[in-house]
Structure 1
Amino acid sequence: METSVIGYPRVGALRELKFATENYLKNHLTKERLQSTGLKLREAHWKTQQSNGVDFITSNDFSFYDNMLDTAVLLNVVPERYRKLGLDILDEYFAMARGYQGEKGDVKALAMKKWFNTNYHYMVPEMEDETKITLAGTKPFDEYLEAKKIGIETKPSIIGPFTFLKLTKFSGQKEERDFISDIIQAYVDIIQKFEQLGTKWIQFEEPALVMDIYEDDKKLVEKLYRPMLSTKGKLKVLLQTYFGDLRDCYREVTDLPFDGIGLDFVEGNKSLNLIKKLGFPKDKKLFVGIVNGKNIWRNNYATTVKIVKELAEHCEKLVLSTACSLLHVPYTLKNENKLLKAHKKYFAFADEKITELSQLKIVLSSKDPTLSDEYKKNIELFSQKRAGQNSTVQSVVSTLHEQDFVRHPNFEKREKIQKSTFDLPLLPTTTIGSLPQTTEVKENRSKFKKGKISFEQYTQFNKEKIAEWVSIQEKIGLDVLVHGEFERNDMVEYFGENLDGFLFTENAWVQSYGTRCVKPPIIWGDISRSKPITVNYSVYAQSLTKKALKGMLTGPVTILNWSFPREDISLKDCAFQISLAIKAEVLDLEANGIRIIQIDEAALREKLPLRQSDWHSEYLDWAIPAFRLVHSSVKPDTQIHTHMCYSEFKDIIKNIDAMDADVITFEAARSDLSIVDVLKESGFKTEVGPGVYDIHSPRIPAVEEIKEALEKILTKIPLEKLWVNPDCGLKTRGENETIPSLENLVAAAQKLRERVPV
């Protein structure tokens, strides 16, 4: 029995790559030092897997920003606007990722979207009509040779051509079909280069194959891979899928001359039945994705052994594998000193999952797996009863009825009431919520957590920052203000820390995009709220201004999706528990005079099943009601906002409208305001604020740029329905970027107001 790891985390156990990259981008670190940090991390990752006996260790899973961006650069898919900057290769790469504003030009970053059903964000490759796809880079070959140099044979991994084409934006007249011959040749060149290097296996990642696949897609897979695979000699090719099953194209994929096929048996609900029904080719290795790469709970060996035994009846060559890349879980439990042993024994981060693969290899190699020590210990763990149950919460969730999810009066009546109540100007301006988290803000929070300052000192600092930024917002001229969230480390972790039922880590960081890392809380038990969370700071901020101020909350679906969820109850029940807790906070804010309340659902689309036929039954039928439950009891003149970002919304826009919020803000800047067309086509009733500038880039948008964006929006969205805002929170931006950007935003809105007849 062999073992395989699809991919390994890359930012460093203590975020070494994050800090090195940020220092490089600030000109505080040389290019050589940055490259050296990357090399050290890669070597450490390979050696960790080698020491645990992993047979198929992956290379080229490392990236300074994103693997899709790496693939675009490898294939020469670099839009001309970045080439014109005249930057060197690495800086051009970062310009594509983050945008560039300097002496050589001013360009926006590539669009950024969620990677399938995860919280990881990828950079969207952009194909222009003039693009010539060709093998232009050396990164996968260089990293393979680095590993070879220290005595480790790896399987280089590259995003496959089908997934690359499906996730690429075609910005000119040409379409996908116009680039097929070139991309085939580029991948043939990749195969040939690895043949020359003596590589044994190469991994092509094709997660797009687990989505809805139609006849044209099947023909494309055949058209891409048949000529590619005909050129390989001794090199063996693994087609690696994850995040679901191949129910739409299993026969077509298994008929192709791959040497190995990786299937997901965690999220791939039909993978086992497909093999039992249709069989599996004897000449191929089946890479069995059985160790969950997206959640942190220990693997249940009894379940795994049962699945592998069934597979062994149909497949001759099995390789145990992670179900997806371990990019989506933290590095190691070794750096967690505050988690109780009673809790830690249930968890497996990346390193522990590699250990699980090693143990399962031993277990499954035994004549009777159930007699091995590793198996017995695992069974004992899963037979124990965990603490954390709350019978009151369970009872309330079980007795919810239809009217608990309905707000009165209807939207149209509320809209009229709120227009009169708030008396805001046309094109009201606001921000999404968070304001710059400066070094001083982070230090204040850190000192308090370490016990170096008192709660009173910590709170006083936060109030001073709130007062400072209320004044700045008033001076800028924003219409609806925010308190800035200076007390919050993360929009989900903060709420988890103030609710019962969560556990927290010290160093369980997971990459969200680029240098942005998050530390998801762990949902351990039933969730409830025992005290107000945000009321004091919101009330204090409102006392400083006569303008309306938004209370800022994170919605139940986002809290669930950006946490590591329980696996012993349904996601629906867990979401409703969180909804009831956040609902209590909403009603407390309202009772204390906060009449605009934003309940962010940035991650609403994130866990949407990849196949449309599963959307309602497996997700939307409880996710949308979970949001409605939060605000269903507020008064008509309390305005409910929500925010969503970095996802495709076109296909669920009706469901978003059914959330029955009063105002919804969307990320739109990086996607060229494409959401606006969707809103118009759907007859969207909710008031909207499509983000008019990209906050993930350090560049400052000009007044004219924002005004032009608003003019474009106003051709599709009625004036009285439109809000003006950035496309996400501003916590990651500096004050020197944020203030002028907001000043330009307000100035642009004002220019348009002046043109509107009174």
Structure 2
Amino acid sequence: MASHIVGYPRMGPKRELKFALESFWDGKSTADDLQKVATDLRHSIWKQMADAGIKYIPSNTFSYYDQVLDTTAMLGAVPERYNFTGGEIGFDIYFSMARGNASVPAMEMTKWFDTNYHFIVPELGPNTKFSYSSHKPVSEYKEAKALGIETVPVLIGPVTYLLLSKPAKGVEKSFSPLSLLGSILPIYKEVIAELKAAGASWIQFDEPTLVMDLESHQLEAFTKAYTELESSLSGLNVLAETYFADVPPEAYKTITALKSISGFGFDLVRGTKTLDLVKSAGFPAGKYLFAGVVDGRNIWANDLASSISTLETLEAIVGKDKLVVSTSCSLMHTAVDLVNETKLDSEIKSWLAFAAQKVVEVNALAKALAGQKDEAFFSANAAAQASRKSSPRVTNEEVQKAAAALKGSDHRRATNVSARLDAQQKKLNLPILPTTTIGSFPQTMDLRRVRREYKANKISEEEYVKAIKEEISKVVKLQEELDIDVLVHGEPERNDMVEYFGEQLSGFAFTVNGWVQSYGSRCVKPPIIYGDVSRPKAMTVFWSKMAQSMTARPMKGMLTGPVTILNWSFVRNDQPRFETCYQIALAIKKEVEDLEAAGIQVIQIDEAALREGLPLRKSEQAFYLDWAVHSFRITNCGVQDTTQIHTHMCYSNFNDIIHSIINMDADVITIENSRSDEKLLSVFREGVKYGAGIGPGVYDIHSPRIPSTEEIADRINKMLAVLETNILWVNPDCGLKTRKYAEVKPALTNMVAAAKLLRTQLASTK
């Protein structure tokens, strides 16, 4: 019985790649230094899998930034603005596409399906020139082979790559990147030929778009692509890997009919209906089924007994020698190694498995099916499963009852948004085109040190409060000097927008090294929701009240919304997600009401991850949007008309859920707009009426580039062409946490100057 891993985290157990990248970007280390760290990480991962007994070990799942960007580099599909002249793509061009540079903006970044990982969106057009410009898949295969480790090179499949692409700037929006299939297949053929020559016996094509609701011409593209590649693939075993959801019947029929494909990978954790499909529709004789029974998206230990039952069912259909035990998707979406969690509660720790442990689980399942069951391992697993089910710390009956009572009723503010905005304006007295920021200000090394020392009891609470108060005072003073209208306190006390709240809510556990890549070098440490959620005491009121006392201008109270806390945590899998979300919503509701009682007039409840949790299949989306929007409304349904509720969303395609966003009934929404090339504005051009306040971001904070006053004014003018003057806000795309003050000050100076320039122009035209 064989075992397989779809992909593995690349940051390293202690975020080694993150620190190497940032050191290189800051000019503190060389390209050789960066490559040495990367090589060491790759080698340790391959050896770890080989030592665990994994048969099909992936290569080319490592990336310096993003696997889709790596494919863009492989295909030489570099947008014109980067002045690529051919040859092998080096770090200069590669990182300019990812991050922008002083003279050109970065490429768009958006969420990888329904995960919190961001990929760099390819920009394609009818004149895009393709050339084989990165030999990374081949060089990494050879690198593993030199260590004596046979790997399966992983490529993003040609159809998924094109379906995830967008028309380049200046290209008609109606242009279909899928029309370029014939142009990219010759490069795939070159890569395949080189891998074959290097001795590869398997190639994995990741085609996760197969789980989407595809149209017939899109499904036909898979048939066309793999039929055309058939002769190149001759003599190789080919795995078509899908993940994140069920494979729809038509897609299943299309892909399993392909002669060039030897094996099919299915996510049987999120795709439980695929199992029924294999049973009812059958499975092609002589082909391999890679059964994704170990969850690559969450950190709970596998229920080995349940997985064995599923695998035995499949074994009866496909045969013992054609069934491969696998992960449901790449393990890059989970934390790296539980061994590094020395401070985690031992009972909770026994319920968990990070990437390194999941590799062991996969192999243990494969061995058990082959008649070599590790009885001690299975027995310990069964005991942990039983402990989790019966633990009294998981259940709080009072919380369960309160959440259950929410299901049958609607929660809305009593007055409509236009009346509320009038009442708020009388109280706040803001100018037209009011300026604000999204919440966080730069997190300096000193700030991180203060938080670390306080956590380690190296400084007293008094010293900690004094240091944070000084930082808040500095941020407030800076915003007043910049003449920003609605201020933020900068969030110096917060490590992360979800972890900070989770640490103060019951039902959450935390890791020390449970880092997961979000994009590039940015990692997050998702909390673990293991039980019912409640709020023992106020979480932000102390700091917000302190900040408001420092200024006469409105100070935003800053909260993370329930859907974002849910989607950016590792969530318990023993009850429906919406039940957990309602519990979090009730906790945030108490915080909102306490902030209002403390005199905070503007409260921002960020729902950055609302879109990201949208199910991939249309048939499941309405139910999700219903409870997600309801959860947001629960948080603020009890406040007065004069209290202004803001929310923020970032880095997703919002146009398809705009009516749900309107239904959230926030007073003001700030939303990413600049990096996605103002895609958001198109929804308003198409006639969607929006009556609440809205702040489409005027510049991209994920790039070190500083936009000019004129550039920002031009963006605002584009917004004014489709939005009413009295509802438009001026703000950056996202929080400023990851930026340096040397970038933040000039960028915000130019933003305020642009708003003032347009106020003057608007006043003169009246």
1:333-390 alpha-carbon deviations (Å, 9 max, x no partner): 11111012211110000000001112112222228x6x94433332232223122321
Q: Distance in 1 between matches of 2:409 and 2:639?
A: 13
Corresponding residue for residue 215 of structure 1:
216
For the pair 1:4 / 2:7, whether they are aligned, the reply is no
1:196-222 alpha-carbon deviations (Å, 9 max, x no partner): 111010100011110111111111111
- Output aligned runs, 1:595-634, within 5 Å: 595-617=601-623, 619-634=624-639
Give yes or no for contact 1:363–1:375 (8 Å, CA) kept in 2: no
The letter of the residue matching 1:295 is N
- Output aligned runs, 1:390-405, within 5 Å: 390-400=396-406, 403=409, 405=411
1:50-107 alpha-carbon deviations (Å, 9 max, x no partner): 1100000000000000000000000011011112699971111000000000xxxx10
Corresponding residue for residue 333 of structure 2:
328
- CA positional deviation for 1:44: 0.4
1:135 aligns with one of 132, 137, 160 = 132
- CA positional deviation for 1:426: 0.5
Say which SS state the counterpart of residue 751 (structure 2) adopts. helix
1:435-469 alpha-carbon deviations (Å, 9 max, x no partner): 00011111111111111101111111010010111
- Output aligned runs, 1:731-750, within 5 Å: 731-750=737-756
The letter of the residue matching 2:109 is M
Q: Which moves more between the two structures, 683-692 or 328-337?
A: 683-692
- CA positional deviation for 1:116: 0.3
- CA positional deviation for 1:233: 2.5
Corresponding residue for residue 57 of structure 2:
57
Q: Distance in 2 between matches of 1:559 and 1:232?
A: 45
- Output aligned runs, 1:413-562, within 5 Å: 413-562=419-568
- Output aligned runs, 1:251-270, within 5 Å: 251-257=253-259, 258-270=261-273
Q: Distance in 1 between matches of 2:246 and 2:132?
A: 30
Corresponding residue for residue 586 of structure 1:
592
Give yes or no for contact 1:654–1:684 (8 Å, CA) kept in 2: no
- Output aligned runs, 1:329-344, within 5 Å: 329-344=334-349
- CA positional deviation for 1:392: 1.2
Say which SS state the counterpart of residue 444 (structure 1) adopts. helix
Q: Distance in 1 between matches of 2:453 and 2:13?
A: 22
The letter of the residue matching 1:256 is L
Give yes or no for contact 2:162–2:178 (8 Å, CA) kept in 1: no
1:120 aligns with one of 103, 117, 121 = 117
Corresponding residue for residue 155 of structure 1:
152
Give yes or no for contact 2:394–2:531 (8 Å, CA) kept in 1: yes
Give yes or no for contact 2:338–2:354 (8 Å, CA) kept in 1: yes
Q: Which moves more between the two structures, 132-141 or 640-649?
A: 132-141
Corresponding residue for residue 290 of structure 2:
287
The letter of the residue matching 1:182 is S
Corresponding residue for residue 251 of structure 2:
249
CA RMSD of aligned residues (A): 1.5
Corresponding residue for residue 365 of structure 1:
370
Q: Which moves more between the two structures, 249-258 or 413-422?
A: 413-422
Q: Percent identity?
A: 48
1:706-729 alpha-carbon deviations (Å, 9 max, x no partner): 001011111111111100000000
Q: Distance in 2 between matches of 1:553 and 1:614?
A: 28
Give yes or no for contact 2:13–2:337 (8 Å, CA) kept in 1: yes
- CA positional deviation for 1:743: 0.4
Give yes or no for contact 2:267–2:328 (8 Å, CA) kept in 1: yes
The letter of the residue matching 1:112 is M
Q: Distance in 2 between matches of 1:38 and 1:395?
A: 50
Q: Which moves more between the two structures, 302-311 or 199-208?
A: 302-311
The letter of the residue matching 1:231 is S
- CA positional deviation for 1:739: 0.7
Give yes or no for contact 2:159–2:181 (8 Å, CA) kept in 1: no
- CA positional deviation for 1:314: 1.4
Give yes or no for contact 1:653–1:679 (8 Å, CA) kept in 2: no
Say which SS state the counterpart of residue 480 (structure 1) adopts. coil
- CA positional deviation for 1:403: 5.0
- Output aligned runs, 1:8-47, within 5 Å: 8-47=8-47
Q: Distance in 1 between matches of 2:281 and 2:234?
A: 28
Give yes or no for contact 2:336–2:356 (8 Å, CA) kept in 1: yes
- CA positional deviation for 1:3: 0.3
Q: Distance in 2 between matches of 1:7 and 1:33?
A: 25
Q: Which moves more between the two structures, 86-95 or 153-162?
A: 86-95
Give yes or no for contact 1:133–1:179 (8 Å, CA) kept in 2: no
Say which SS state the counterpart of residue 699 (structure 1) adopts. coil
- CA positional deviation for 1:482: 0.2
Q: Which moves more between the two structures, 411-420 or 699-708?
A: 411-420
1:721-748 alpha-carbon deviations (Å, 9 max, x no partner): 1000000000000001001100000000
TM-score normalised by the chain length of structure 1: 0.97
Give yes or no for contact 2:674–2:699 (8 Å, CA) kept in 1: yes
The letter of the residue matching 1:322 is T
Give yes or no for contact 2:701–2:734 (8 Å, CA) kept in 1: yes
Give yes or no for contact 2:159–2:222 (8 Å, CA) kept in 1: yes
Change in 2 beyond 3 A, CA 1:152/1:534: same
Q: Which moves more between the two structures, 174-183 or 122-131?
A: 174-183
- Output aligned runs, 1:659-738, within 5 Å: 659-680=664-685, 681-738=687-744
Q: Distance in 2 between matches of 1:123 and 1:28?
A: 25
Say which SS state the counterpart of residue 611 (structure 2) adopts. coil
Corresponding residue for residue 272 of structure 1:
275
Q: Distance in 1 between matches of 2:696 and 2:82?
A: 26
Q: Distance in 2 between matches of 1:584 and 1:307?
A: 43
Q: Distance in 2 between matches of 1:584 and 1:629?
A: 10
- CA positional deviation for 1:129: 3.5
Q: Distance in 2 between matches of 1:545 and 1:85?
A: 53
Say which SS state the counterpart of residue 383 (structure 1) adopts. helix
Q: Distance in 1 between matches of 2:487 and 2:474?
A: 12
1:380-414 alpha-carbon deviations (Å, 9 max, x no partner): 32223122321111111122265561211121211
Give yes or no for contact 1:141–1:194 (8 Å, CA) kept in 2: yes
- CA positional deviation for 1:229: 2.0
Say which SS state the counterpart of residue 546 (structure 1) adopts. coil
Q: Distance in 2 between matches of 1:241 and 1:667?
A: 29
Give yes or no for contact 1:195–1:233 (8 Å, CA) kept in 2: no
Q: Distance in 2 between matches of 1:741 and 1:402?
A: 47
Q: Distance in 1 between matches of 2:749 and 2:176?
A: 40
Structure 2, unaligned stretches of length 5 or more?
none
Say which SS state the counterpart of residue 152 (structure 2) adopts. strand
1:475-510 alpha-carbon deviations (Å, 9 max, x no partner): 001000000000000000000001111101100100
Q: Distance in 2 between matches of 1:548 and 1:320?
A: 57
1:312 aligns with one of 315, 334, 340 = 315
The letter of the residue matching 1:704 is E
Q: Distance in 1 between matches of 2:695 and 2:213?
A: 31
Q: Distance in 2 between matches of 1:359 and 1:63?
A: 28
Structure 1, unaligned stretches of length 5 or more?
none
Q: Which moves more between the two structures, 234-243 or 392-401?
A: 392-401
TM-score normalised by the chain length of structure 2: 0.96
- Output aligned runs, 1:140-219, within 5 Å: 140-171=137-168, 172-173=171-172, 175-219=176-220
Say which SS state the counterpart of residue 71 (structure 2) adopts. helix
